[in-house]
Copies of this chain bind each other. A is one copy, B any other.
Amino acid sequence: MSIPVSPSIRKRISESTIHRLSLYYRALSLLEKENYETVSSKELAKREKLTPAQVRKDLSFFGSFGTRGLGYPVKELRAQISSILGLDRTWRVALIGIGNIGSALVSYKEFSKQGFQIVKLFDNDQRKIGSNHKGIIVSDIRNLETELRNDRIEMVVLAVPATVAQYIVDDVVRAGIKAILNFAPANLKVPDDVYLRNENMSMELEYLSFAIVNNHAQKRVKLNI
């Protein structure tokens, strides 16, 4: 029995929907561990602090996975979302910059758990080049372009100082990489066909700070009757 392929997506799916898919995926993984067979949009919504309608809408963009009157089959829905998000395979990831953040990310289990395998490390520091981090030898950043190509890297995680981030990302783009996750607090320019996401860890603290200072109204709590 093969899992039916999700219909190819015509509409542009919103970023928020994709992020929520990640949430559903995590919730479903947990539900599976807890031996649930099925789950309703209501329960899923409750667990992720959303509304049942939103859960159903989000999922309906990709197909009809549920059974009316019963709910969604946990195991199957998880597999579906896994396939939609591309988590049913592994990704070859290179990490550039073995500083504080970089080192932490090498050891960050969540990444490999989701199939993001860091298989390559780069730094410009002679003391770090050649050293071993979790079984990976740190490469010289001067060989970035060729090594990214040779090792068939598909994604790059950038954890370098903001001041040099643009130069490095230019190299990364030249190597044909189409997906970059940037931790440097910098606004990087990439061509249209390269996906760039920024992880700005200060931003959320700044949001908290704003919320406290301005006594900002919390998101209304939805009752799931």
Assess the B100–A108 pair: CB atoms within 8 A. Answer: yes
Cβ–Cβ contact B206 & A192, under 8 A: no
Residues of B within 8 A of A217 (CB): 12
Copies, count: 2
Q: Answer whether A204 and B199 are a contact pair too, CB < 8 Å, given A26-B185, A85-B209, A179-B211.
A: yes
Q: Which residue of B lies closest to A201 (CB)?
A: B199
Q: Which of A13-21, A70-78, A119-127, A138-146 contacts B (4 or more CB under 8 A)?
A: A13-21
Name A168-225 residues within 8 Å CB distance of B: 178-181, 185, 187, 192-193, 195, 197-214, 216-218, 221
A23 to chain B, nearest CB (A): 8
Knowing A110-B201, A192-B218, the reply to whether A84 touches B18 (Cβ < 8 A) is no
* B residues in contact with A218, CB < 8 Å: 192-193, 195
Question: Given B103, B111, B155, B208, which contacts A155 in the complex, CB threshold below 8 Å?
Answer: B208
Interface pairs (24), CB distance under 8 Å: A12-B216, A13-B214, A13-B216, A18-B206, A18-B210, A25-B206, A26-B185, A27-B187, A47-B187, A48-B187, A84-B214, A85-B206, A85-B210, A86-B214, A87-B209, A93-B205, A114-B202, A116-B209, A154-B212, A155-B208, A155-B209, A192-B218, A195-B212, A195-B216
